[in-house]
Amino acid sequence: MRDKIDFTKEKPFFDNGDLKWYVSINIQRLIENEQANNLPVLKGFGCFVVKGKGVEDYVLIDHQQNIIAAFPYTNEGFGQMEARIKIMKVSKHFDDYENNI
């Protein structure tokens, strides 16, 4: 289920004037926690709900603030972001496995 952010009360994580960036608590937990089947933690990624100037999206960025993925701030967009994170975790799991052989 998507994050329920009250944009009138929540303080953004950062504000660049045109856009306000709020941490997506639910997606961030998915990024930072090991999942079933030993899916690894993803380090150096953050997921935000970005709002402003006709934009209201989930946005996944890396530690250099490159946009990795963006989906609408809807239940469907939440599901798409969740799937994207899980795919990244599966990929990392297999990369780690291959590097240890």
Model pLDDT, residue 65: 93
Model pLDDT, residue 34: 80
Q: Average pLDDT in the 71-75 region?
A: 96
pLDDT in tens, 37-49: 678 889 999 999 9
Bridge partners, residue 45, by sequence? 62
Residue 58: Cβ-neighbour burial (10 angstroms; 0-12, 13-18, 19+):
buried
pLDDT in tens, 3-35: 889 999 999 999 999 999 999 999 999 999 887
Model pLDDT, residue 76: 96
Predicted model pTM: 0.87
Which strand (E) or helix (H) includes residue 25? helix 25-32
Identity of residue 91 = S
